[in-house]
Structure 1
C-alpha cells in the first residue's frame, strides 16, 4: 500500500513539474518581442507614404515646409516632456499655438497624432483607417505638411513607444488680412502591437495549467491517503 502512495506522489510531482515547464516555455517563447523594442520611424518615410496615399486617391502631393517641420517636432517633444498624448496640452497649449510659435501663418490647418510601437507603414495605415485622420491626410485644402517624431516611452502598458505628429497647412498669403479659417484636430490614434499572447500560446498555457492542476490533485489525494 505504501508503494501505491509513492507512485501517486511521483506522478503528481512529474505532472506539476511538466506543467510548470510548459507554462514557462509558453511565456518565454510567445511574448511579442516588438513590445520590448519599437521599430525605427522616420519623418521622411511618413512623408513619402502620406504622399503615396494622396496620389493613389487622386490628390496632389504635399510639400514639406520647414516651419511646419519645426512646429510638429516641438509638439512631439512637448508631449514627451509633459507626458500626455492629446491635441490640447495640460498646460493649455493648443495645436495652433505650435503653428504660431514656428511662424507659420495659415488660412487652414490640421493635426494628426499617433503613438506606436510599430513602423511607419502602420502609422499611415492607421490614419487612413480612421475617418477623421483620413480626412486630414487626404484633404485638398492643404498643400504643405511637417512631421515630428519623439520617443515617448511606456504608454498604457506598451513599451518603447514613439509619438508621431503630422501638421498640415495652407499658408496665408503674406499680403492677406483675412481671418484664418476654423481648424479642427482629427483626434488621436494609438497604433500599438497588442500585449496579448497568440492562439498557440494560449493552447500551450491551457495544457500547462491542466497538468499543474492534475499534479496538485494527485498530491492532495496522496496526502489524504497517508493521513487516513
Structure 2
C-alpha cells in the first residue's frame, strides 16, 4: 500500500488571486478567459535535469564582484518540503533582490537610489538530501513602486523554485519580520488569509546567526497542500 496521502486542496484565501484589484498591474495582465489545462509530455515532466554541475551554485551574493557590497550581511536558510513534511531534495532555487538602498541591478530600475556595482543581486542554490538550503546576501532596502500614492514595497527577496523541468516552476517572495510596510502592501495582502500571509514572513533565527558576522533568518517553504507557502500563480500550481 502506498504511504502517499491524498492531495489536500488549498483552503480559500491562502493563495493570491490572478486579479487583485488593489495590485493594479494584475488587472492588465491576468487571463481574461478561463484557463485551459494542457497535457504535459515527457519533455516537460522530466527535463532538463537541474544539477550544480550544469547550473553552478551562487550561494554567497556578496562575493560576485571585486569589492564588498554595501549594507547589512545576512544569512537566509530553510527547508523545502511537501504538504506531508517530507523534504524535497536537489531542488534548484533562484533568488533575486534589490540592493541595500532598494535598487535592482537592472537597466529599467530608475529609482533615485545608489546602484551598487559590487552587488548583482541574484543567486542560485540547491537543496540538500534533507531539503535544506542556505545562502549569504545583503539585507535589501525598500523602494517606491507607483501602484498608489506614496507606495513603497516592503523589503523582500524573490524566490523561484524549479521541479524537474521548466514547466514546474513556482515563484514567491520572502519578507522580513517587523517591517511596518507589510500592513500597507497590496501584494502581501493579496493573500487574504492572515495565517497564510505569515508564511511569507521569515523568522529571525539565532541558530543560523553567526557570531560577529551576520544575522540569520529562517524561511521554510511548503510546496503544496493546505499549509503551502503562497505562490504567485494563485494556487493553480
- TM-score normalised by structure 1 residue count: 0.23
Structure showing the higher helix proportion among its residues: 1
Looking at CA atoms only, which structure, 1 or 2, has the larger radius of gyration?
1
TM-score (structure 2 length as normaliser)? 0.22
